[in-house]
Structure 1
Amino acid sequence: MNWLDFSSNSFIVAFYLYCASFISFAIAVAGKRWSNRKAEDHTSRWGKIGFGLAAIGWLAHLTFFFTRWYGGGHIPTSNMYEFMTFLGMAIMFAFIIVHLIYRNMLLGAFALPLVIIIIAYASVFPSEVQPLIPALNNYWLKIHVTTAATGEAFFAVGFAAALMQLIRVVDFSRKDKVGKRAQFWTEFSLYVIIVLIGFLVAVFAFRGAGYEATFSQEKVTIADDGTATSEVKEVKYGLPPIVAPYNSDIVEFQSFIGLDKPLFDAPSWMNGVNAGRKLNTIIWSVISGSLLYGLLRLLARKPLAAAIHPHLTDIDAEDLEEISYRAIAIGFPVFTLGALIFAMIWAQIAWSRFWGWDPKEVWALVTFLFYSAYLHLRLSRGWQGTRSAWLAVIGFLVVMFTLVGVNLVIAGLHSYAGV
């Protein structure tokens, strides 16, 4: 048996089951609009179907993980594709645990899209099994990565519940300054999520069309003694280049809707790995996400948060806050162990130092301090309600920047994860 092929098929099955689960939860949130039965019966029935599909999908995802481990010879957490698929699996595990505690069927309507986006994001990266570099070939890495991702998964569930809470409590009929500010930031949170979806739409659309552009970039490095060395490398784009790499020449360029050359070069201070290509990706993500958001607004004929709000009025906002807090309270010690303590042990073995102020280490510390502040303010200062919910939402944005921004934008010792 080819275990890697079986693993890939299991992954596809898991993805489609997650999509079906989200559709079921979405129908549950919609209430009795498509049913003549009582809303409670309708929600319970579709919620149970959604949870059942999610649980089966998680088992398929678990099968993918272990068969890839067996077929590849090492735990599949060594690059961005493997780590993000593991994170999606961990979020589903956290959702199942929280659901079994609180029996809130509708949380899946917000948790499942997050899992689907993360899995789709993982699919952007090469899925081939790669040999481990020496720094990764250590059992402490397995402990460090899996526990850190599990902690982040519970943060993700806390984020989903907090976002539901914010949409639930915002009064969209208010016209005063405070009310409009709450409406704006809640809508902006949904816009950020749609921009992430827009990134996936753009990448897969141009990949399916076979688009590619190539630049020849010269990089000059000046040593401490004043000696200058020059290196020329090719930079390939999968999206039409709005931004060209700094100090580069066009090798191959496919015209797109009149765009036959880049509009400008990346600034010279952006000297990270493939900085121009990454800036170009960010611009395309904002463009495609904004177009998608505009289309959804046109269909809804109102702000998206205002369109979702009526379907959440039967949910107790205090229950959502409790779910968010408990999920974060579970995830915080797990994250602390994995992202800090176990990470420092691995760093000592791999690089002969416990701490080196690498960007990934710094942002893991920032995440730890932020959630420490969240727990302190909620437990000791009485920050509950919307203030607590906003902290949970912002905290997960910090987590996502630690995972994505640091790996793909900031160069450092953890940059191997972006290969």
Structure 2
Amino acid sequence: MTLNETLAQYSDWAFESAFAVLVLALILLVAEYATHRVDLVSERELVASGARRSDPSIDVPADAAPGRVEQRQGRTTSERLGNMGRALVVVVAALQIASIVMRGFATERFPLGNMYEFVAMACAAAIVFGLVMLRKPTYRIMWVYVLVPVLILMFLAATVLYADAAPVVPALRSFWLPIHVTIISVGSGIFLVSGVASMLFLLRIRFPKGKAATGVLAGIAQRLPDAQTLDRLAYRTTIIGFPLFGAGIILGAIWAEAAWGRFWGWDPKETVSFITWVVYAAYLHARATSGWRNTRAAWINIAGFVAMLFNLFIINMVVSGLHSYAGLN
């Protein structure tokens, strides 16, 4: 076995390990979510006047003064489960990055030559971006919903989309590959977080806090952050992903001129990428327009996310074009 084959095997093992650790992290975070109390006042307890005397079951420090805010010692089971789950998410990110790097050294090229590698990069970007954006306690409970689509994409990458480590086709042997495709894949990973936030925002609007409701969806919604927090997360995330995705399209046009002698040819991949970018532009415009800021803007953001997935899977796997480099043929 040569060195390249060895590194390729290690890359696959790292990806598979990342998937396994992600499953364990998701189990812990789901357990945190299930044991999370909606009305729990985290870390603090307000000591009411005469609480100990009126109810001996209440554990109030002997020296507590009426109305005084006491710092609660120790962590709840929910917090411990969540902390363990989020620690494993960091391990997942490290394994994903290691898999990508080793794949690149194994093939002696930038590891973005097929759909397996593209999806692996997008998933890594979503995880790393999530570690940055969801670090605040308000957002931590959302990890469950971010990791589910990442887990699905990683499963598809390791099964349906998997391609052996190998040289790329001549058309991709360009210095534009790491620039153009990396920006697009990172932007796609960021849009995943944004799309999930908008979906949860619509669910929270449907079941606002304090509204009496029963059912699974109502129970899920009551554990989410408030609607404004979710909407703000979706907006801020899209603001970051939108210029990246746009820059990727522009750089792709420059690469097309160098490779095919024209900047734009309305190839299916180019067309749907442009449509996706326009939909996200419409979302940002709607988000800043009175009367469109709430559910209408959120639906547009979700439409952009769906267009991005359509561009990734249907265009690459079903429609034939100049960008048919899925590595599945």
Instruction: Tell me the TM-score range normalised by the shorter chain.
Output: 0.7 to 0.9
Superposed CA offset, 1:277-310 (max 9, x none): xxxxxxxxxxxxxxxxxxxxxxxxx9xxx41431
Q: Does the 8 A contact of 1:80 with 1:418 survive in 2? A: yes
What is the distance in 2 between the residues matched to 1:409 and 1:374? 28
1:326 counterpart (213, 230, 236)? 236
Unaligned runs of at least 5 residues, structure 2: 43-75, 209-213
Amino acid at match of 1:9: W
1:93 alignment counterpart: 128
Q: Relative to structure 1, is the Cα distance of residues 89 and 373 closer, same or farther in structure 2, using a 3 angstrom cutoff?
A: same
The structure whose residues are more often strand, as a share, is 1
CA RMSD of aligned residues (A): 2.1
1:79 alignment counterpart: 114
Is residue 297 of structure 2 the alignment partner of residue 388 of structure 1?
A: yes
What is the distance in 1 between the residues matched to 2:221 and 2:106? 44
Cα distance, 1:392 vs structure 2:
1.9
Superposed CA offset, 1:322-346 (max 9, x none): 11111111100111111x1111111
TM-score by length of 2: 0.80
2:61 alignment counterpart: none
1:7 counterpart (4, 7, 11)? 11
Amino acid at match of 1:328: T
What is the distance in 2 between the residues matched to 1:307 and 1:126? 35
Q: Which runs of 4+ in 1 moved over 4 A?
A: none
2:275 counterpart (357, 366, 377)? 366
2:256 alignment counterpart: 347
Aligned residues: 283
Q: Does the 8 A contact of 2:207 with 2:222 survive in 1? A: no
2:185 counterpart (146, 149, 152)? 149
What is the distance in 2 between the residues matched to 1:328 and 1:102? 21
Is residue 146 of structure 2 the alignment partner of residue 111 of structure 1?
A: yes
Is residue 303 of structure 2 the alignment partner of residue 375 of structure 1?
A: no
Q: Relative to structure 1, is the Cα distance of residues 166 and 346 closer, same or farther in structure 2, using a 3 angstrom cutoff?
A: same
1:416 alignment counterpart: 325
Amino acid at match of 1:54: V
Superposed CA offset, 1:174-230 (max 9, x none): xxxxxxxxxxxxxxxxxxxxxxxxxxxxxxxxxxxxxxxxxxxxxxxxxxxxxxxxx
Cα distance, 1:102 vs structure 2:
6.9
Amino acid at match of 2:182: T
Cα distance, 1:388 vs structure 2:
2.4
Q: Does the 8 A contact of 1:48 with 1:105 survive in 2? A: no
Q: Relative to structure 1, is the Cα distance of residues 398 and 55 closer, same or farther in structure 2, using a 3 angstrom cutoff?
A: same
Cα distance, 1:101 vs structure 2:
5.8
Amino acid at match of 2:143: G
Is residue 33 of structure 2 the alignment partner of residue 20 of structure 1?
A: no
1:399 alignment counterpart: 308
What is the distance in 2 between the residues matched to 1:101 and 1:139? 38
Cα distance, 1:103 vs structure 2:
5.1
- SS where residue 100 of structure 1 aligns? coil
- SS where residue 266 of structure 2 aligns? coil
Q: Does the 8 A contact of 2:207 with 2:221 survive in 1? A: no
- SS where residue 135 of structure 2 aligns? helix
* Within-5 A mapping of 1:288-299: none
Q: Does the 8 A contact of 1:152 with 1:331 survive in 2? A: yes
* Within-5 A mapping of 1:112-191: 112-123=147-158, 124-171=160-207
What is the distance in 2 between the residues matched to 1:170 and 1:147? 35
Q: Does the 8 A contact of 1:25 with 1:105 survive in 2? A: no
Q: Does the 8 A contact of 1:159 with 1:393 survive in 2? A: yes
Q: Does the 8 A contact of 2:106 with 2:165 survive in 1? A: no
Superposed CA offset, 1:130-160 (max 9, x none): 3211210011111101101111111110111
Is residue 247 of structure 2 the alignment partner of residue 337 of structure 1?
A: yes
* Within-5 A mapping of 1:271-286: none
What is the distance in 1 between the residues matched to 2:163 and 2:169? 17
What is the distance in 2 between the residues matched to 1:170 and 1:328? 22
Cα distance, 1:22 vs structure 2:
1.3
Q: Does the 8 A contact of 2:119 with 2:185 survive in 1? A: no
Superposed CA offset, 1:250-280 (max 9, x none): xxxxxxxxxxxxxxxxxxxxxxxxxxxxxxx
